[in-house]
Copies of this chain bind each other. A is one copy, B any other.
Amino acid sequence: MRNRGPLWQKRLDDFGFRSTMPRKVIMDILRQTMEHLSAEDIYLKAVNMNPSIGLTTVYRTLDLFCQIGVVQRFDFGDGKARYELISNPNKKEHHHHLVCVKCRNIIDYSDFVHEEQELMDKTEQSLSQKHNFDIFHHIIHFYGICKDCKGAA
């Protein structure tokens, strides 16, 4: 029985990976949040749903999801990665980030994403062809000093 169920399971199957309980649980967690969760955040929620799930599996699953293009990983510079569904029905629209290099706080913004769309699509298509690269998604980060840290100087 091939390619049944939700999109991410089809994707797993297409790549020859199995659809397991931990993978379902982790996908559910990602679908139910709008935040950037760390591996440990996800692990804690997962254990809550099924105590047998191990942290190692959470790491492996997130990595796998990144490789099949259903999850995106962020590194904001605080030493731990964050993960988010690339296409999330519950999530607010496509957004980007302001990152404070001092306190490491993140501000999400979704202004200009509309105006950005055309340029990014065009760039994505050209780069994709030029380098024979399958592009899953993109991120834009602005780095600087936030309001609070400016004050504290």
* Chain A interfacial positions (CB closer than 8 Å to B): 15, 66-67, 69, 72-73, 75-77, 81, 98, 100-102, 107, 109, 111-112, 115-116, 119, 122-124, 126-128, 130-147, 150, 153
CB distance from A32 to the nearest CB of B (A): 23
- CB pair B75 A133 closer than 8 Å: no
- Which chain B positions have C-beta within 8 A of A131? 98, 107, 109, 146-147
Which residue of chain B lies nearest to A144 when distances are taken between CB atoms in the complex? B135
* Cα–Cα distance between A3 and B73 once the two chains are bound (Å): 41
- CB pair B112 A132 closer than 8 Å: no
* Cα–Cα distance between A47 and B133 once the two chains are bound (Å): 38
Contacts A111-B123, A133-B107, A138-B141; A73 near B67 (Cβ below 8 A):
no
* Cα–Cα distance between A40 and B145 once the two chains are bound (Å): 26
Which residue of chain B lies nearest to A136 when distances are taken between CB atoms in the complex? B144
- Which chain B positions have C-beta within 8 A of A134? 144-145, 150
User: 5 interchain pairs (CB within 8 A)?
Assistant: A69-B101, A77-B81, A98-B127, A109-B127, A116-B123
- Which chain B positions have C-beta within 8 A of A137? 142-144
CB distance from A139 to the nearest CB of B (A): 5
- Which chain B positions have C-beta within 8 A of A136? 101, 143-145
